[in-house]
Structure 1
Amino acid sequence: MNEITSLERRPEGGPGPIRRTALHDTLVSHLRDMIIEGDLAPGTRLHEGQLGEQLGVSRTPLREAIKYLASEGLVELVPSRGAVVKRFSAKDVKDMLTVLQALEELAGKLACDAASDTGIAEVRALHDEMVHRYRAGDRMQYYKLNQQIHTAIVQLSGNAALADMHGVLQTRLKRIRFIGHEGPEKWAAAVAEHEEMIAALEARDKAKLSEVLGRHLVNAWERVRDSV
């Protein structure tokens, strides 16, 4: 891709014009954030012309970014309609969370045996920063750190096949996982589960970590089921 872009939000948080840099990934990341936060709601048609004008980019990098998001499962390329933000049914979400639960339960067991002390310390650092973002009310940065923690635990398992499958599902569930933190009670409950998660990992208690990871995803479904 020859034309690459990055984005800047307007101070009030809405999508703003973007300036050129050498990073195509930033455009993809910005569009992904718009989907996660609901600025581009499920079922929304992505008009290249309108989006390009709104974001200040030409159609070429925008088209490539949309294709990339389609490969992640966040956008659907529909004949005669073009690109549309993917809408998942309640069954789709439940099915994906069920598989994600099984993967994370296994990852927790493996990580307790395979992880280095340094790797565990890195997850602790991510957790501490996530809690800081929670206390500051920074929901998007909290969410991103939350997802990094789950990915890091899976990576600590040392199982590349497991990590690949987990990555696919985690990407498709980004919007769903984000809305699971809507409301102070849901958000606080998720943080408390993460506290248990980190304690179990540091103790290398494979049974406890597996149980907490599984319960966390069961509860994730309960937190989002009325929203899908």
Structure 2
Amino acid sequence: MVQEHGQSEPSERIAKLDPSVQVTVRDHVHRILRATIIGGKFAPDEKINERQLAEQFGVSTTPIKEALRQLESEGLVEALPRRGVIIRFNMGWAEEMILARAALESMIGHLAAKRISDDACQALQATVRLMEAATSSGNADELIALNETFHDQIHRASRCDYLARLIERQQFYDASIRRIIHSDPAERERALAEHRAIAEAIVARNSDGAERCMRDHVVRSGDIYLSIVFGNKEEK
């Protein structure tokens, strides 16, 4: 069931953690809660109920508090006196994340075109061929995995460890949103064409072209994300 403004019922938002991953429970809580927030399942300014979250995750409140402190350092939530923890993620914040990621990814693409090895070129081209096959079959899960592989290969080729770490805070997709995007055949074809153009520019050592293609790809993908998560709602 979905509440008003497209927000999910609290009980539908969080899946209990597998007991086998309890050794890193804080990191798992942070990762899942971050994806939940960025996926638009909490409304801007909504108050977080720590005890309710602990019940939904199947953990104590300690890792919830630790994860929320980490999310506060990222600016996604804010702890206010007498009000508790409030969601600060909104459409404006999401737009800034997309622009920040576009800037970082485009520079990584630029440097990858300058630094990529011949072996890495072949691996990148092989990934594109796999993406072509997955696009034709409409296999969303495979496309999601290949998309991650594609960008990881470019990150490694660029040898930009610092920029790659910065990008971690600009991740605005989760698997559910990616599946929605890849369910559209036209969107699958557009994404494939963009990935192919990025790869071709990098393999050709065309750093300016790689930078431009990567930036355009991230910005356009971000616009799709905004339309899914926020629709046509304007910031109040």
Aligned residues: percent identity?
28
- Are 1:131 and 1:191, in contact at CA under 8 Å, matched by a contact in 2? no
Match of residue 65 from structure 1: 67
- Are 1:186 and 1:223, in contact at CA under 8 Å, matched by a contact in 2? no
Normalising by the residue count of structure 1, what TM-score does the alignment of the two structures yield?
A: 0.69
State the SS of the aligned residue for 2:89. Answer: coil
**Alpha-carbon distance in 1 for matches of 2:114, 2:124:** 15
Match of residue 5 from structure 1: none
Q: Residues 95-127 of structure 1, C-alpha deviation per residue, up to 9 Å, x if partnerless?
A: 443343333322212111212345455555666
Q: For residues 116 and 136 of structure 1, do their structure 2 counterparts lie closer, same or farther at Cα, with a shift above 3 Å needed?
A: same
Q: CA RMSD in A?
A: 3.7
- Are 1:45 and 1:85, in contact at CA under 8 Å, matched by a contact in 2? yes
Q: For residues 183 and 42 of structure 1, do their structure 2 counterparts lie closer, same or farther at Cα, with a shift above 3 Å needed?
A: farther
Match of residue 181 from structure 2: 181
**Alpha-carbon distance in 2 for matches of 1:47, 1:28:** 15
Matches within 5 A, 1:1-228: 15-20=14-19, 21-24=22-25, 25-90=27-92, 92-120=93-121, 123=124, 128=130, 132=134, 135-138=138-141, 142-143=143-144, 146=147, 149-150=150-151, 152-168=153-169, 170-171=170-171, 173-174=172-173, 178=177, 181=181, 184=184, 185-224=186-225, 226=227, 227=231
Match of residue 10 from structure 1: none
Q: Gaps spanning 5+ residues in structure 1: where?
A: 1-12
**Alpha-carbon distance in 1 for matches of 2:44, 2:133:** 29
- Are 1:111 and 1:158, in contact at CA under 8 Å, matched by a contact in 2? yes
How far is 1:212 from its partner?
1.0
Normalising by the residue count of structure 2, what TM-score does the alignment of the two structures yield?
A: 0.67
Output the amino acid matched with 2:181: H
How far is 1:50 from its partner?
0.7
**Alpha-carbon distance in 2 for matches of 1:78, 1:142:** 41
How far is 1:137 from its partner?
3.0
- Higher relative contact order by CA 8 Å / sep ≥ 6: 1 or 2? 2
Q: For residues 160 and 46 of structure 1, do their structure 2 counterparts lie closer, same or farther at Cα, with a shift above 3 Å needed?
A: same
Q: Residues 180-228 of structure 1, C-alpha deviation per residue, up to 9 Å, x if partnerless?
A: 9386144542333123223333343323322211211332354355536
Higher helix share: 2
Q: Gaps spanning 5+ residues in structure 2: where?
A: 1-11
Output the amino acid matched with 1:65: A
State the SS of the aligned residue for 1:22. Answer: helix
